[in-house]
């Protein structure tokens, strides 16, 4: 059973929260996010505290935990934002931005291009790509799709990976005649 229903979410004074017809709008210095709340969840906002309750007792308690996390992530997103850092490992791998467009040169005959949706920003430095935005889900989704272009291969570790991610490497082929069966 979720214990989050007992804890209200504290909202700081610089963040504005509006609730209208099942939609929750959270506004801050970075922008505005809108969440759709299901009819099973009762939403209350007073004295800079958000509390969530079920309409029908404790039947769907898991929804409270989910929406507690979604609202908390929206508040953090509009206040400080979310970011994911990707690292490119490989000779000649590079990236460049042109406005809202990210071009990756990762060993294909053509550059792979991504266009940033609204509220997403790409920052490129040397061999790193920083994906920033206010929506945690969207930042993670775009970072994952960039990584899918050239995932790290297990022998040399070349590819695109998250910063700090450990790549398990495999051993290569053994040299001919070493460690094999003795010939007759």
Domains of the chain (ranges; CATH) run: 2-78 (3.90.930.12), 81-160 (3.90.930.12)
10-residue mean pLDDT series, the chain (184 residues):
71 90 90 90 86 74 85 94 95 92 94 92 94 95 96 92 92 67 55
Q: Is 65 helix (H, G, I), strand (E, B) or coil?
A: helix
> Given this model, what pLDDT does residue 57 score?
67
> Given this model, what pLDDT does residue 143 score?
96
CA geometry: angle 6, 135, 95, nearest 5 deg? 145
- Residue 125 belongs to what H/E stretch? strand 120-125
> Given this model, what pLDDT does residue 171 score?
87
User: How far apart (Å, rounded) are the C-alpha atoms in residues 108 and 133?
Assistant: 28
Axis crossing angle, helix 61-79 with helix 136-149, rounded to the nearest 10: 80
| Closest by CA position to 20, among listed 41, 37, 5 | 37
User: How far apart (Å, rounded) are the C-alpha atoms in residues 12 and 75?
Assistant: 9
| Closest by CA position to 85, among listed 138, 140, 156, 153 | 140
User: How far apart (Å, rounded) are the C-alpha atoms in residues 118 and 138?
Assistant: 10
> Given this model, what pLDDT does residue 45 score?
86
> Given this model, what pLDDT does residue 3 score?
66
What are the b/e assignments for 30-68, b being 16+ CB within 10 Å?
beebebebeeebebeeeeeebbbeeeeeeeeeebbeebb
Q: Name beta bridge partners: 84.
A: 131
Alpha carbon 122 to chain centroid distance? Answer: 13
Task: Write out the two tokens for 165.
Answer: 């991610």
> Given this model, what pLDDT does residue 83 score?
96
């Amino acid at each position: 059973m979720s214990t989050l229903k007992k804890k209200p979410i504290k909202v700081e004074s610089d963040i504005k929260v509006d609730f209208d017809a099942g939609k929750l709008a959270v506004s801050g210095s970075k922008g505005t996010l809108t969440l759709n709340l299901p009819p099973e969840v009762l939403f209350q906002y007073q004295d800079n505290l958000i509390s969530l309750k079920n309409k029908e007792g404790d039947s769907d308690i898991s929804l409270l935990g989910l929406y507690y996390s979604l609202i908390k992530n929206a508040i953090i997103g509009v206040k400080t934002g979310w970011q994911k850092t990707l690292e490119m490992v490989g000779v000649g791998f590079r990236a460049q931005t042109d406005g809202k467009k990210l071009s990756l040169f990762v060993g294909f005959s053509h550059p792979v291009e991504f266009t940033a949706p609204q509220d997403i920003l790409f920052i490129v430095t040397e061999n790193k790509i920083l994906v920033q935005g206010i929506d945690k889900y969207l930042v993670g989704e775009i970072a994952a799709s960039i990584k899918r272009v050239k995932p790290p291969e297990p022998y040399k570790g070349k590819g695109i990976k998250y910063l700090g991610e450990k790549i398990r490497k495999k051993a290569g082929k053994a040299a001919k005649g070493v460690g094999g069966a003795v010939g007759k």
